[in-house]
Amino acid sequence: MITEEALYWSQWQQLTSAQQRGLFEQMLRYFVHPLWQVGEIQPLQNKLDQQTWQVALNGRHFYFEPGQLANDQQQAVAPFLISADAIPANHYFLGTIDPVSGQPLTNQLALKHYQGEIADFLQRPNNTLNPFAQPTEWASEHLTFVDQDQVIAVYQRQFWSQADLQQQLRRQGGNLPTANQWQAAAFANQDSVSWQIDDLSGDSLLGLGLRFNSTMQAELLTDPALIQPNPFHRGPDKVGLAPIAADLPVVLTADFYYRTVLNVQLD
């Protein structure tokens, strides 16, 4: 049985690994959309060897951020799951397909509406004579296909506002992060920011695994008047984790990115 107190760092880190995993699996049953495909569950540790858990949901990686109580450095934040990777604000993630057969690997229901475009993608011509110069991203009429090493991620391009985006996320039980949630995920219960470069993916990492690629400029938050700049664009001498004032366009563009948060709220 999930108790709220056990989901805060102060008690969470006192649990055994088996107890943590059991609570995490309960969270997935209660707070994740029932039609989402739940993939591999793995432990995840920060620099202080404090452990939480991560999972693939419909092909996207999420991890659990235990709640934190207010102190001199941090504000109180309830527990939540957050996606490790942010995606362009004018895209919506549909799922993943096999790069050879085109068969859906996750979220078959959403992808079946685009079988024709997926088939065209598989039959696309090779426009280069250099076999090592393959593109990593392709576009069809409605979709963007991104090579993610052994799978192809499929995104639906959107012409929507921040309010439209939030409405879509809420239909799936999610939302954009609040400023406090983003800060909690960035610090991951540490006294200072942990910077790390992932040599395998080329991404930069914060906290327990917030990933930042070189194209990201700023991320959307629930407050439309604020955006969260990519801290790795500001340099280690200008950490700049605080959000700044935003002037969002009516229709969101790829200049902005967003992460999905699944709130863990017990009655």
Strand partners, 226: 245
Average pLDDT over residues 188-203: 68
In angstroms, how far is CA 87 from the centroid of its own chain?
A: 7
| CA atoms within 13 A of residue 5's CA, in its CB half-sphere | 2
Which one is predicted more confidently, 162 or 34?
A: 162
pLDDT band at residue 130 using 50, 70 and 90 as cut-offs? very low
For 24-28, 70-74, 98-102, 205-209, which range has the lowest pLDDT when averaged over its residues?
A: 70-74
Whether residue 218 is predicted with pLDDT greater than 60 in this model: the reply is yes
**Strand arrangement of the beta sheet that strand 152-157 belongs to:** 91-97, 152-157, 143-147, 137-139
Q: In Å, how far are 142, 177, 249 from 163, measured between CA atoms?
A: 21, 14, 12
pLDDT band at residue 206 using 50, 70 and 90 as cut-offs? confident
Whether residue 128 is predicted with pLDDT greater than 50 in this model: the reply is no
Residue 108 has what pLDDT? 86
For 60-74, 120-134, 139-153, 155-169, which range has the lowest pLDDT when averaged over its residues?
A: 120-134
Strand partners, 53: 43
Average pLDDT over residues 131-136: 57
Which one is predicted more confidently, 219 or 232?
A: 219
pTM listed for this prediction: 0.90
Q: Strands 218-220 and 256-258: what pairing? A: parallel
Residue 125 has what pLDDT? 74
Residue-wise pLDDT for 24-42, tens only, equals 999 999 999 888 999 999 9
CB 158 within 8 A of CB 92: yes
Cα dihedral value 153, 206, 219, 61, nearest 10? 30
Residue-wise pLDDT for 89-99, tens only, equals 999 999 999 98
pLDDT band at residue 1 using 50, 70 and 90 as cut-offs? low
Residue 133 has what pLDDT? 45
Whats the size of the chain, residue-wise? Answer: 267
Give the C-alpha separation, 186 to 242, whole Å: 11
Residue 46 has what pLDDT? 80
Whether residue 127 is predicted with pLDDT greater than 60 in this model: the reply is no
The percentage of the chain sitting over the pLDDT mark of 70, rounded to a whole number, equals 88
Residue 207 has what pLDDT? 87
